[in-house]
Structure 1
Amino acid sequence: MQIAQMNWRQVEAYLAGDDCIVLPIGSTEQHAHLSLSTDSILAEKVALEAAEPLGIPVLPVMPFGITPYFLAFPGTISLKVETYGRVLMDILDSLAGHGFRRIFIVNGHGGNQPAQAIATDWQARRPEMTIKFHNWWSAPRTMAAVREVDAVASHASWMENFPWTRLQDVVQPAERKPMVDLDRLRMLGPPAVRELLGDGNYGGYYERDDAHMLAIWQIAVQETRDLLEGPWN
Protein backbone atom coordinates (compact mmCIF):
# COMPACT_ATOMS: atom_id res chain seq x y z
CA MET A 1 0.00 0.00 0.00
CA GLN A 2 1.36 3.36 -0.98
CA ILE A 3 0.82 6.08 1.60
CA ALA A 4 0.32 8.36 -1.41
CA GLN A 5 -2.82 6.30 -2.20
CA MET A 6 -4.23 6.53 1.35
CA ASN A 7 -5.86 9.24 3.42
CA TRP A 8 -5.29 9.83 7.13
CA ARG A 9 -8.39 7.92 8.19
CA GLN A 10 -7.21 4.85 6.31
CA VAL A 11 -3.81 5.07 8.02
CA GLU A 12 -5.55 5.40 11.39
CA ALA A 13 -7.65 2.32 10.61
CA TYR A 14 -4.52 0.40 9.63
CA LEU A 15 -2.85 1.34 12.92
CA ALA A 16 -5.74 -0.20 14.82
CA GLY A 17 -4.50 -3.60 13.70
CA ASP A 18 -0.81 -3.23 12.81
CA ASP A 19 2.14 -0.99 13.60
CA CYS A 20 4.62 -1.64 10.75
CA ILE A 21 5.58 0.77 7.98
CA VAL A 22 8.25 0.89 5.27
CA LEU A 23 10.50 3.89 4.58
CA PRO A 24 12.51 3.75 1.33
CA ILE A 25 15.56 6.03 1.18
CA GLY A 26 17.46 6.83 -2.01
CA SER A 27 19.43 9.61 -3.61
CA THR A 28 19.54 11.94 -6.59
CA GLU A 29 22.98 11.52 -8.12
CA GLN A 30 24.78 10.76 -11.35
CA HIS A 31 24.43 7.21 -12.64
CA ALA A 32 26.31 7.54 -15.93
CA HIS A 33 23.74 6.90 -18.68
CA LEU A 34 20.95 5.91 -16.27
CA SER A 35 18.44 8.10 -14.43
CA LEU A 36 19.72 10.50 -11.79
CA SER A 37 16.98 9.01 -9.60
CA THR A 38 18.17 5.41 -10.01
CA ASP A 39 18.75 4.80 -6.30
CA SER A 40 15.37 6.27 -5.37
CA ILE A 41 13.50 4.43 -8.11
CA LEU A 42 14.96 1.08 -7.09
CA ALA A 43 14.54 1.55 -3.32
CA GLU A 44 10.90 2.57 -3.67
CA LYS A 45 10.02 -0.12 -6.21
CA VAL A 46 11.58 -3.00 -4.28
CA ALA A 47 9.88 -1.75 -1.10
CA LEU A 48 6.47 -1.52 -2.78
CA GLU A 49 6.67 -4.93 -4.41
CA ALA A 50 7.91 -6.57 -1.23
CA ALA A 51 5.25 -4.98 1.00
CA GLU A 52 2.24 -5.28 -1.32
CA PRO A 53 1.22 -8.88 -0.49
CA LEU A 54 1.66 -8.16 3.21
CA GLY A 55 -0.63 -5.13 3.23
CA ILE A 56 2.04 -2.95 4.85
CA PRO A 57 2.07 0.76 3.91
CA VAL A 58 5.08 2.24 2.14
CA LEU A 59 6.06 5.88 2.50
CA PRO A 60 7.21 7.97 -0.48
CA VAL A 61 10.92 7.52 -1.03
CA MET A 62 13.28 10.01 0.62
CA PRO A 63 14.86 11.23 -2.66
CA PHE A 64 17.95 13.07 -1.43
CA GLY A 65 20.91 11.39 0.22
CA ILE A 66 24.55 11.83 1.14
CA THR A 67 26.62 11.98 -2.05
CA PRO A 68 29.17 14.83 -1.87
CA TYR A 69 31.73 13.07 -4.07
CA PHE A 70 29.47 13.40 -7.14
CA LEU A 71 28.73 17.12 -6.79
CA ALA A 72 30.73 17.96 -9.92
CA PHE A 73 28.09 16.06 -11.95
CA PRO A 74 25.12 18.38 -12.65
CA GLY A 75 21.84 17.17 -11.19
CA THR A 76 23.43 15.53 -8.15
CA ILE A 77 21.96 16.73 -4.84
CA SER A 78 23.81 16.02 -1.59
CA LEU A 79 22.70 16.66 1.97
CA LYS A 80 25.17 17.22 4.77
CA VAL A 81 25.27 14.31 7.22
CA GLU A 82 23.91 16.59 9.96
CA THR A 83 21.03 17.74 7.76
CA TYR A 84 20.27 14.20 6.67
CA GLY A 85 20.26 12.98 10.25
CA ARG A 86 17.86 15.70 11.38
CA VAL A 87 15.45 14.96 8.53
CA LEU A 88 15.55 11.23 9.20
CA MET A 89 14.99 11.68 12.94
CA ASP A 90 12.06 14.02 12.27
CA ILE A 91 10.48 11.36 10.06
CA LEU A 92 11.01 8.69 12.71
CA ASP A 93 9.61 10.98 15.43
CA SER A 94 6.50 11.59 13.32
CA LEU A 95 5.92 7.88 12.75
CA ALA A 96 6.43 7.04 16.42
CA GLY A 97 4.00 9.78 17.39
CA HIS A 98 1.29 8.22 15.23
CA GLY A 99 1.73 4.80 16.82
CA PHE A 100 4.01 2.99 14.41
CA ARG A 101 6.34 0.75 16.35
CA ARG A 102 8.12 -1.23 13.62
CA ILE A 103 9.91 0.71 10.89
CA PHE A 104 11.56 -1.05 7.96
CA ILE A 105 14.07 1.20 6.18
CA VAL A 106 14.93 0.10 2.63
CA ASN A 107 18.12 1.82 1.54
CA GLY A 108 19.09 2.18 -2.11
CA HIS A 109 22.30 4.23 -1.81
CA GLY A 110 25.64 3.27 -0.33
CA GLY A 111 26.38 6.84 0.74
CA ASN A 112 23.36 6.73 3.05
CA GLN A 113 25.09 4.30 5.39
CA PRO A 114 25.21 6.91 8.21
CA ALA A 115 21.41 6.53 8.28
CA GLN A 116 21.80 3.13 9.91
CA ALA A 117 23.84 4.55 12.78
CA ILE A 118 21.42 7.46 13.13
CA ALA A 119 18.43 5.11 13.24
CA THR A 120 20.17 2.82 15.73
CA ASP A 121 20.94 5.76 18.01
CA TRP A 122 17.36 7.02 17.72
CA GLN A 123 15.96 3.57 18.52
CA ALA A 124 18.16 3.26 21.61
CA ARG A 125 16.31 6.25 23.07
CA ARG A 126 12.92 4.72 22.30
CA PRO A 127 12.78 1.16 23.69
CA GLU A 128 9.25 0.68 22.37
CA MET A 129 10.51 1.00 18.76
CA THR A 130 12.14 -1.56 16.46
CA ILE A 131 13.93 -0.59 13.25
CA LYS A 132 15.25 -2.86 10.52
CA PHE A 133 17.73 -1.36 8.05
CA HIS A 134 18.05 -3.13 4.70
CA ASN A 135 20.57 -2.37 1.94
CA TRP A 136 18.54 -4.16 -0.70
CA TRP A 137 21.20 -4.37 -3.46
CA SER A 138 23.95 -5.81 -1.25
CA ALA A 139 21.83 -8.27 0.73
CA PRO A 140 23.33 -11.80 0.60
CA ARG A 141 20.95 -13.53 -1.81
CA THR A 142 20.66 -10.55 -4.13
CA MET A 143 24.42 -9.98 -4.32
CA ALA A 144 25.01 -13.69 -4.90
CA ALA A 145 22.61 -13.53 -7.87
CA VAL A 146 24.51 -10.51 -9.23
CA ARG A 147 27.86 -12.29 -8.91
CA GLU A 148 26.51 -15.33 -10.74
CA VAL A 149 25.87 -13.15 -13.78
CA ASP A 150 29.10 -11.12 -13.65
CA ALA A 151 31.59 -10.60 -10.84
CA VAL A 152 32.39 -7.10 -12.16
CA ALA A 153 29.39 -5.04 -11.11
CA SER A 154 29.52 -1.54 -9.71
CA HIS A 155 27.97 1.90 -9.45
CA ALA A 156 26.07 2.87 -12.64
CA SER A 157 26.99 -0.41 -14.33
CA TRP A 158 24.71 -3.18 -15.55
CA MET A 159 23.63 -4.16 -12.02
CA GLU A 160 21.57 -0.97 -11.79
CA ASN A 161 20.33 -1.05 -15.38
CA PHE A 162 16.72 -2.21 -15.11
CA PRO A 163 13.89 -1.30 -17.50
CA TRP A 164 12.69 1.24 -14.93
CA THR A 165 16.02 3.07 -14.52
CA ARG A 166 16.80 3.47 -18.22
CA LEU A 167 16.20 6.66 -20.16
CA GLN A 168 14.38 6.70 -23.45
CA ASP A 169 16.62 7.05 -26.50
CA VAL A 170 19.84 6.80 -24.43
CA VAL A 171 22.08 4.08 -25.85
CA GLN A 172 24.35 2.26 -23.41
CA PRO A 173 28.02 1.73 -24.38
CA ALA A 174 28.80 -1.83 -25.47
CA GLU A 175 32.24 -2.19 -23.91
CA ARG A 176 33.21 -3.46 -20.48
CA LYS A 177 34.72 -0.49 -18.67
CA PRO A 178 37.82 -1.22 -16.53
CA MET A 179 37.19 -0.91 -12.80
CA VAL A 180 38.25 2.35 -11.24
CA ASP A 181 40.86 2.38 -8.48
CA LEU A 182 38.47 2.70 -5.53
CA ASP A 183 41.19 3.53 -3.02
CA ARG A 184 42.30 6.44 -5.16
CA LEU A 185 38.72 7.52 -5.79
CA ARG A 186 38.00 7.84 -2.08
CA MET A 187 40.83 10.37 -1.68
CA LEU A 188 39.58 12.75 -4.35
CA GLY A 189 37.34 15.80 -4.29
CA PRO A 190 34.35 16.18 -6.64
CA PRO A 191 36.13 17.70 -9.67
CA ALA A 192 38.85 15.04 -9.59
CA VAL A 193 36.21 12.31 -9.11
CA ARG A 194 34.47 13.46 -12.27
CA GLU A 195 37.76 13.56 -14.18
CA LEU A 196 38.68 10.05 -13.06
CA LEU A 197 35.27 8.49 -13.71
CA GLY A 198 34.46 10.15 -17.02
CA ASP A 199 30.85 9.13 -17.64
CA GLY A 200 30.31 8.08 -14.00
CA ASN A 201 30.34 4.27 -14.26
CA TYR A 202 32.81 2.72 -11.79
CA GLY A 203 33.48 -0.25 -14.06
CA GLY A 204 31.97 -3.26 -15.80
CA TYR A 205 29.46 -3.75 -18.58
CA TYR A 206 26.74 -1.14 -18.91
CA GLU A 207 23.92 -3.59 -19.54
CA ARG A 208 23.10 -7.28 -19.45
CA ASP A 209 20.24 -9.35 -20.78
CA ASP A 210 16.87 -8.47 -19.26
CA ALA A 211 16.23 -12.11 -18.40
CA HIS A 212 19.14 -11.91 -15.96
CA MET A 213 18.02 -8.54 -14.62
CA LEU A 214 14.44 -9.62 -13.96
CA ALA A 215 15.60 -12.80 -12.23
CA ILE A 216 17.86 -10.75 -9.95
CA TRP A 217 14.99 -8.38 -9.26
CA GLN A 218 12.65 -11.15 -8.16
CA ILE A 219 15.29 -12.44 -5.76
CA ALA A 220 15.73 -8.93 -4.37
CA VAL A 221 11.99 -8.49 -3.86
CA GLN A 222 11.64 -11.85 -2.13
CA GLU A 223 14.67 -11.25 0.08
CA THR A 224 13.25 -7.88 1.09
CA ARG A 225 9.82 -9.39 1.78
CA ASP A 226 11.30 -12.18 3.88
CA LEU A 227 13.06 -9.64 6.10
CA LEU A 228 9.94 -7.51 6.35
CA GLU A 229 7.80 -10.50 7.27
CA GLY A 230 10.39 -12.18 9.46
CA PRO A 231 11.03 -11.92 13.25
CA TRP A 232 11.13 -8.45 14.78
CA ASN A 233 12.55 -9.39 18.15
Structure 2
Amino acid sequence: MKLKLDEQGHVVVQDGKPVYTHEDGKDVAFDAPSAVSKITALNAEAKGHREAKETAEARTKAFEGIEDPEKARAALATVANLDAGQLVQAGKVDEIKQAAIAATEEKFKAQVTTLAEQIKTVTAERDTTTGILYQEKIGGAFGRSKFVTDKIAVPPDMLQNTFGKAFKVEEGRVVAYGDDGNKIYSRARPGELADFDEALEALVERYPYRDNILKGSGANGGGAPNNGGKGGDKKTLPRAAFDALDPAAKADHARNGGLVTD
Protein backbone atom coordinates (compact mmCIF):
# COMPACT_ATOMS: atom_id res chain seq x y z
CA MET A 1 0.00 0.00 0.00
CA LYS A 2 1.44 3.36 -1.19
CA LEU A 3 0.47 6.95 -0.63
CA LYS A 4 -1.06 8.30 -3.90
CA LEU A 5 0.54 11.45 -5.40
CA ASP A 6 -0.62 13.73 -8.26
CA GLU A 7 1.51 14.93 -11.23
CA GLN A 8 3.04 17.69 -9.11
CA GLY A 9 4.02 15.16 -6.37
CA HIS A 10 1.37 16.31 -3.92
CA VAL A 11 -0.62 13.87 -1.76
CA VAL A 12 -4.01 13.13 -3.21
CA VAL A 13 -6.71 13.92 -0.63
CA GLN A 14 -10.30 12.69 -0.69
CA ASP A 15 -12.81 14.08 1.85
CA GLY A 16 -9.87 15.39 3.84
CA LYS A 17 -8.30 11.94 3.99
CA PRO A 18 -5.07 10.89 2.28
CA VAL A 19 -5.54 8.34 -0.47
CA TYR A 20 -3.53 5.12 -0.58
CA THR A 21 -3.18 2.78 -3.54
CA HIS A 22 -3.35 -0.90 -2.55
CA GLU A 23 -1.46 -3.73 -4.27
CA ASP A 24 -4.52 -4.54 -6.36
CA GLY A 25 -4.50 -0.93 -7.74
CA LYS A 26 -7.57 0.18 -5.80
CA ASP A 27 -7.43 3.66 -4.25
CA VAL A 28 -8.78 3.98 -0.70
CA ALA A 29 -8.96 7.09 1.45
CA PHE A 30 -7.27 6.39 4.83
CA ASP A 31 -9.36 7.42 7.86
CA ALA A 32 -6.62 8.05 10.44
CA PRO A 33 -8.90 8.97 13.42
CA SER A 34 -10.96 5.85 12.87
CA ALA A 35 -7.81 3.72 12.67
CA VAL A 36 -6.45 5.17 15.92
CA SER A 37 -9.78 4.56 17.65
CA LYS A 38 -9.82 1.00 16.39
CA ILE A 39 -6.26 0.36 17.56
CA THR A 40 -7.14 1.73 21.00
CA ALA A 41 -10.17 -0.54 21.18
CA LEU A 42 -8.11 -3.56 20.16
CA ASN A 43 -5.47 -2.75 22.77
CA ALA A 44 -8.16 -2.54 25.44
CA GLU A 45 -9.60 -5.85 24.30
CA ALA A 46 -6.16 -7.47 24.40
CA LYS A 47 -5.62 -6.13 27.91
CA GLY A 48 -8.94 -7.60 29.01
CA HIS A 49 -8.01 -10.99 27.60
CA ARG A 50 -4.63 -10.86 29.36
CA GLU A 51 -6.17 -9.98 32.72
CA ALA A 52 -8.81 -12.69 32.35
CA LYS A 53 -6.06 -15.20 31.58
CA GLU A 54 -4.08 -14.16 34.67
CA THR A 55 -7.19 -14.42 36.86
CA ALA A 56 -7.96 -17.87 35.50
CA GLU A 57 -4.38 -19.01 36.12
CA ALA A 58 -4.55 -17.74 39.72
CA ARG A 59 -7.78 -19.62 40.34
CA THR A 60 -6.41 -22.76 38.74
CA LYS A 61 -3.35 -22.62 41.02
CA ALA A 62 -5.61 -23.17 44.04
CA PHE A 63 -6.57 -26.57 42.61
CA GLU A 64 -3.04 -27.81 42.01
CA GLY A 65 -2.65 -31.48 42.96
CA ILE A 66 -6.24 -32.38 42.12
CA GLU A 67 -5.85 -34.92 39.36
CA ASP A 68 -9.47 -36.04 39.20
CA PRO A 69 -11.98 -33.16 39.26
CA GLU A 70 -14.90 -35.60 39.43
CA LYS A 71 -13.63 -37.14 42.66
CA ALA A 72 -13.09 -33.68 44.09
CA ARG A 73 -16.67 -32.74 43.26
CA ALA A 74 -17.91 -35.98 44.84
CA ALA A 75 -15.98 -35.22 48.04
CA LEU A 76 -17.42 -31.72 48.19
CA ALA A 77 -20.89 -33.12 47.68
CA THR A 78 -20.36 -35.57 50.56
CA VAL A 79 -19.35 -32.75 52.90
CA ALA A 80 -22.27 -30.63 51.74
CA ASN A 81 -24.67 -33.48 52.45
CA LEU A 82 -23.60 -33.87 56.15
CA ASP A 83 -26.66 -33.17 58.24
CA ALA A 84 -26.71 -31.11 61.44
CA GLY A 85 -26.81 -34.22 63.65
CA GLN A 86 -23.58 -35.52 62.15
CA LEU A 87 -21.90 -32.17 62.69
CA VAL A 88 -23.00 -32.09 66.34
CA GLN A 89 -21.71 -35.63 66.79
CA ALA A 90 -18.37 -34.60 65.32
CA GLY A 91 -18.23 -31.75 67.83
CA LYS A 92 -18.44 -34.24 70.71
CA VAL A 93 -15.03 -35.72 69.98
CA ASP A 94 -13.34 -33.65 72.72
CA GLU A 95 -16.10 -34.55 75.16
CA ILE A 96 -15.60 -38.24 74.42
CA LYS A 97 -11.83 -37.89 74.86
CA GLN A 98 -12.23 -36.19 78.23
CA ALA A 99 -14.66 -38.87 79.37
CA ALA A 100 -12.19 -41.58 78.36
CA ILE A 101 -9.38 -39.86 80.27
CA ALA A 102 -11.57 -39.48 83.36
CA ALA A 103 -12.59 -43.15 83.18
CA THR A 104 -8.96 -44.23 82.89
CA GLU A 105 -7.95 -42.08 85.85
CA GLU A 106 -10.81 -43.48 87.89
CA LYS A 107 -9.79 -47.02 86.97
CA PHE A 108 -6.19 -46.48 88.03
CA LYS A 109 -7.31 -44.60 91.12
CA ALA A 110 -9.10 -47.72 92.30
CA GLN A 111 -6.02 -49.82 91.55
CA VAL A 112 -3.77 -47.40 93.43
CA THR A 113 -6.14 -47.44 96.40
CA THR A 114 -6.18 -51.24 96.37
CA LEU A 115 -2.40 -51.35 96.12
CA ALA A 116 -2.07 -48.92 99.04
CA GLU A 117 -4.33 -51.14 101.14
CA GLN A 118 -2.28 -54.18 100.18
CA ILE A 119 0.93 -52.38 101.15
CA LYS A 120 -0.65 -51.39 104.45
CA THR A 121 -1.66 -55.00 105.11
CA VAL A 122 1.76 -56.36 104.16
CA THR A 123 3.44 -53.73 106.34
CA ALA A 124 1.27 -54.68 109.30
CA GLU A 125 2.02 -58.36 108.75
CA ARG A 126 5.72 -57.58 108.47
CA ASP A 127 5.65 -55.59 111.70
CA THR A 128 3.82 -58.41 113.44
CA THR A 129 6.32 -60.95 112.14
CA THR A 130 9.19 -58.69 113.17
CA GLY A 131 7.70 -58.39 116.65
CA ILE A 132 7.35 -62.15 116.93
CA LEU A 133 10.89 -62.65 115.68
CA TYR A 134 12.18 -60.02 118.11
CA GLN A 135 10.41 -61.65 121.03
CA GLU A 136 11.60 -65.09 120.02
CA LYS A 137 15.18 -64.06 119.40
CA ILE A 138 15.69 -61.48 122.12
CA GLY A 139 13.10 -62.56 124.68
CA GLY A 140 14.29 -66.13 124.29
CA ALA A 141 17.89 -65.03 124.69
CA PHE A 142 17.09 -63.42 128.06
CA GLY A 143 15.24 -66.56 129.15
CA ARG A 144 18.04 -68.92 128.11
CA SER A 145 20.95 -66.76 129.20
CA LYS A 146 23.47 -68.45 131.52
CA PHE A 147 24.63 -65.01 132.64
CA VAL A 148 21.09 -64.13 133.72
CA THR A 149 20.66 -67.46 135.51
CA ASP A 150 24.00 -67.28 137.32
CA LYS A 151 24.44 -63.57 137.95
CA ILE A 152 21.09 -61.74 137.88
CA ALA A 153 18.75 -61.55 140.85
CA VAL A 154 15.65 -60.24 139.03
CA PRO A 155 13.39 -62.20 136.64
CA PRO A 156 14.42 -62.26 132.96
CA ASP A 157 11.35 -60.29 131.83
CA MET A 158 12.19 -57.48 134.24
CA LEU A 159 15.76 -57.46 132.98
CA GLN A 160 14.51 -57.41 129.37
CA ASN A 161 12.37 -54.35 130.11
CA THR A 162 15.51 -52.51 131.13
CA PHE A 163 18.05 -53.78 128.58
CA GLY A 164 15.95 -55.22 125.75
CA LYS A 165 16.00 -51.98 123.76
CA ALA A 166 19.79 -52.35 123.39
CA PHE A 167 19.37 -55.49 121.26
CA LYS A 168 18.31 -55.77 117.62
CA VAL A 169 17.84 -58.64 115.21
CA GLU A 170 20.02 -58.13 112.16
CA GLU A 171 20.40 -60.73 109.41
CA GLY A 172 18.95 -63.37 111.71
CA ARG A 173 21.27 -62.78 114.66
CA VAL A 174 21.02 -60.75 117.86
CA VAL A 175 23.24 -57.66 117.89
CA ALA A 176 23.77 -55.40 120.91
CA TYR A 177 24.29 -51.63 120.87
CA GLY A 178 25.79 -49.50 123.61
CA ASP A 179 24.46 -46.18 124.89
CA ASP A 180 26.76 -44.47 122.36
CA GLY A 181 24.86 -46.12 119.49
CA ASN A 182 27.78 -48.33 118.47
CA LYS A 183 27.73 -52.10 118.27
CA ILE A 184 29.25 -53.94 121.21
CA TYR A 185 32.26 -56.03 120.23
CA SER A 186 33.70 -59.02 122.03
CA ARG A 187 36.63 -58.62 124.39
CA ALA A 188 37.39 -62.32 124.18
CA ARG A 189 37.26 -62.37 120.35
CA PRO A 190 38.65 -59.04 119.13
CA GLY A 191 37.08 -57.85 115.90
CA GLU A 192 33.94 -59.96 116.35
CA LEU A 193 30.58 -58.88 117.70
CA ALA A 194 29.88 -59.87 121.29
CA ASP A 195 27.45 -62.73 121.76
CA PHE A 196 24.31 -62.15 123.83
CA ASP A 197 25.71 -63.02 127.27
CA GLU A 198 28.92 -61.05 126.80
CA ALA A 199 27.02 -58.02 125.49
CA LEU A 200 24.46 -58.17 128.31
CA GLU A 201 27.22 -58.44 130.90
CA ALA A 202 28.88 -55.35 129.42
CA LEU A 203 25.58 -53.45 129.57
CA VAL A 204 24.95 -54.49 133.17
CA GLU A 205 28.45 -53.39 134.16
CA ARG A 206 27.65 -49.88 132.87
CA TYR A 207 24.24 -49.81 134.55
CA PRO A 208 24.29 -47.34 137.48
CA TYR A 209 21.99 -49.58 139.58
CA ARG A 210 23.73 -52.85 138.78
CA ASP A 211 24.24 -53.68 142.46
CA ASN A 212 20.47 -53.87 142.83
CA ILE A 213 20.06 -56.54 140.17
CA LEU A 214 23.19 -58.67 140.62
CA LYS A 215 23.23 -61.73 142.84
CA GLY A 216 25.58 -61.79 145.80
CA SER A 217 26.23 -58.04 145.57
CA GLY A 218 24.97 -57.43 149.09
CA ALA A 219 22.46 -55.01 147.64
CA ASN A 220 19.17 -56.84 148.08
CA GLY A 221 19.18 -58.75 144.81
CA GLY A 222 17.17 -61.93 144.33
CA GLY A 223 18.08 -64.37 147.09
CA ALA A 224 20.28 -61.80 148.85
CA PRO A 225 19.29 -60.84 152.40
CA ASN A 226 17.92 -57.35 152.95
CA ASN A 227 18.98 -55.29 155.97
CA GLY A 228 21.27 -57.98 157.29
CA GLY A 229 18.86 -60.83 156.66
CA LYS A 230 15.73 -59.04 157.76
CA GLY A 231 12.88 -58.97 155.31
CA GLY A 232 13.43 -62.47 153.84
CA ASP A 233 13.74 -62.65 150.02
CA LYS A 234 12.39 -59.21 149.29
CA LYS A 235 14.02 -57.58 146.24
CA THR A 236 14.81 -53.89 146.16
CA LEU A 237 14.81 -51.86 142.94
CA PRO A 238 15.72 -48.22 142.44
CA ARG A 239 12.88 -45.99 141.27
CA ALA A 240 14.36 -45.65 137.74
CA ALA A 241 14.58 -49.42 137.31
CA PHE A 242 11.06 -49.92 138.64
CA ASP A 243 9.63 -47.23 136.34
CA ALA A 244 11.20 -49.00 133.36
CA LEU A 245 9.16 -52.14 134.05
CA ASP A 246 5.91 -52.88 132.25
CA PRO A 247 2.69 -53.01 134.34
CA ALA A 248 2.81 -56.81 134.70
CA ALA A 249 6.41 -56.76 135.94
CA LYS A 250 5.62 -53.96 138.38
CA ALA A 251 2.69 -55.97 139.74
CA ASP A 252 4.86 -59.08 140.02
CA HIS A 253 7.51 -57.11 141.90
CA ALA A 254 4.95 -55.76 144.33
CA ARG A 255 3.25 -59.16 144.72
CA ASN A 256 6.56 -60.74 145.68
CA GLY A 257 7.12 -58.09 148.33
CA GLY A 258 9.68 -56.15 146.32
CA LEU A 259 10.74 -52.71 147.47
CA VAL A 260 11.44 -49.51 145.55
CA THR A 261 14.06 -47.02 146.65
CA ASP A 262 14.31 -43.38 145.55
TM-score, normalised by the number of residues in structure 2: 0.24
Higher helix share: 2
TM-score, normalised by the number of residues in structure 1: 0.26
Q: Which has the higher contact order (CA 8 A, sep 6+)?
A: 1
